[in-house]
């Protein structure tokens, strides 16, 4: 990923001050070790499932949460699963990877609540909704191989959590502007902070050492960089975010359904007619997002 995400380019600007402040934050959220271990293991398709299961089970708290999620009605399994290995055999390694990532992210940033008027529950519902829509479109369009669309969706707006946690006074001003001028948070952030949740989120994702395509999706989902080799992921998230907003799945902080950039349709080889055709299935995915949120935050 480009190393200039967090490099101030103008001295004494609000932007520079914000970037310096973020760099100095000592308690930025960290992902559990099990997350990095599982990501590394799964990059090698030859890793035996029982090794992945053992790695996950080394963290009992994560294991408990994973089994709880797997046994929720979200997966609709006929019998209760009581081991991670059994879960991998039944659901496949990719699904388990997604569950590990979601659970890890929720453990890192999902629980705390800051009193800044930013509705975290609605925010996570939005994020999971975007993740499920992105996973559906990713499969239909044959992009990627590892269901990373789901994760990209879950974390695309993670920068808003950083703003909520560390820049809460500025967030109050951003939300005021969103309400008064009926603009997107993305635009209000740039007026107040001179930087958006995209760059801030990409900073955190880089610290977490997430794969480049995920960092790119976070960084560019509001403005596609067609030159980027990962433009498909950012495009996938731009469109999934718009669909989630159209159907009012939770809230990303404002209620505006953003325009889709023309490049997105070309990059994804997608048309509005195709979306129309898949509409019922997409709504089915949205239904699942409500159940999934309940399982993750319970």
Q: Which residues bind Fe ion (CB under 5 A)?
A: 157, 241, 252
We find the least distance from the C-beta atom of residue 57 to Fe ion, in angstroms, to be 33
Question: Which residue from 222, 193, 188 is spatially nearest to 22, judged by alpha carbons?
Answer: 193
We find the least distance from the C-beta atom of residue 161 to Fe ion, in angstroms, to be 12
- CA contacts within 13 A on the Cβ side of 219: 24
We find the least distance from the C-beta atom of residue 96 to Fe ion, in angstroms, to be 25
Question: Which pair of tokens denotes residue 66?
Answer: 């994973």
Q: Measured between alpha carbons, how far is 288 from 63 in angstroms, rounded to an integer?
A: 22
Output 66 or 175, the one with its CB closest to Fe ion. Answer: 175
Using the structure block, give the residue that is written with the tokens 């239904």: 287
Output 129 or 211, the one with its CB closest to Fe ion. Answer: 129
- Give the C-alpha distances (Å, rounded to integers) separating 13 from 9, 104, 194, 195, 278: 9, 35, 8, 11, 46
Output 65 or 126, the one with its CB closest to Fe ion. Answer: 126
We find the least distance from the C-beta atom of residue 289 to Fe ion, in angstroms, to be 13
Q: Measured between alpha carbons, how far is 15 from 190 in angstroms, rounded to an integer?
A: 9
- CA contacts within 13 A on the Cβ side of 292: 25
User: Rounded to 5 degrees, what are φ and ψ at 25?
Assistant: -65, 125
Q: Which single residue brings its beta carbon nearest to Fe ion?
A: 252
We find the least distance from the C-beta atom of residue 236 to Fe ion, in angstroms, to be 13
We find the least distance from the C-beta atom of residue 178 to Fe ion, in angstroms, to be 13
Q: Measured between alpha carbons, how far is 212 from 209 in angstroms, rounded to an integer?
A: 8
We find the least distance from the C-beta atom of residue 106 to Fe ion, in angstroms, to be 17
DSSP structural state of residue 26: S
Question: Which pair of tokens denotes residue 290?
Answer: 């409500």
- Cβ-contact 214, 154 below 8 angstroms: no
Output 63 or 125, the one with its CB closest to Fe ion. Answer: 125
Output 235 or 241, the one with its CB closest to Fe ion. Answer: 241
Output 38 or 200, the one with its CB closest to Fe ion. Answer: 200
Our separate counts of H helices and E strands in the chain read: 17, 0
Output 110 or 252, the one with its CB closest to Fe ion. Answer: 252
């Amino acid at each position: 990923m480009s190393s200039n995400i967090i490099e101030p380019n103008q001295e004494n600007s609000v932007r520079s001050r914000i970037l310096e402040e973020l760099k100095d934050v000592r308690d930025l959220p960290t992902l559990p070790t099990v997350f990095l271990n599982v990501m590394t293991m799964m990059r090698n398709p030859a890793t035996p499932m029982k090794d992945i299961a053992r790695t996950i089970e080394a963290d009992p708290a994560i294991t408990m949460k994973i089994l709880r999620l797997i046994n929720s009605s979200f997966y609709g399994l006929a019998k209760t699963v009581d081991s991670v290995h059994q879960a991998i055999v039944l659901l496949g390694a990719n699904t388990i990877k997604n569950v590990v990532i979601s659970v890890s992210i929720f453990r890192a940033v999902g629980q705390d609540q800051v009193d800044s008027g930013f509705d975290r529950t609605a925010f996570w519902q939005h994020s999971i909704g975007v993740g499920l829509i992105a996973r559906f479109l990713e499969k239909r369009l044959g992009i990627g191989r590892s269901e990373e669309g789901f994760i990209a969706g879950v974390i695309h707006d993670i920068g808003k959590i950083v703003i909520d946690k560390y820049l809460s006074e500025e967030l109050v001003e951003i939300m005021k502007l969103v309400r008064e001028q009926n603009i997107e948070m993305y635009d209000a952030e740039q007026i107040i902070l001179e930087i958006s949740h995209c760059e801030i989120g990409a900073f955190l994702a880089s610290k977490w050492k997430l794969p480049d395509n995920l960092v790119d999706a976070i960084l560019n989902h509001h403005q596609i960089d067609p030159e980027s080799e990962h433009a498909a992921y950012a495009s996938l998230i731009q469109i999934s975010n718009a669909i989630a907003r159209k159907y009012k799945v939770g809230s990303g902080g404002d209620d505006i359904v953003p325009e889709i950039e023309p490049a997105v349709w070309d990059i994804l080889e997608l048309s509005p007619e195709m979306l129309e055709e898949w509409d019922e299935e997409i709504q089915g995915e949205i239904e699942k997002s409500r159940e999934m949120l309940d399982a993750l935050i319970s």
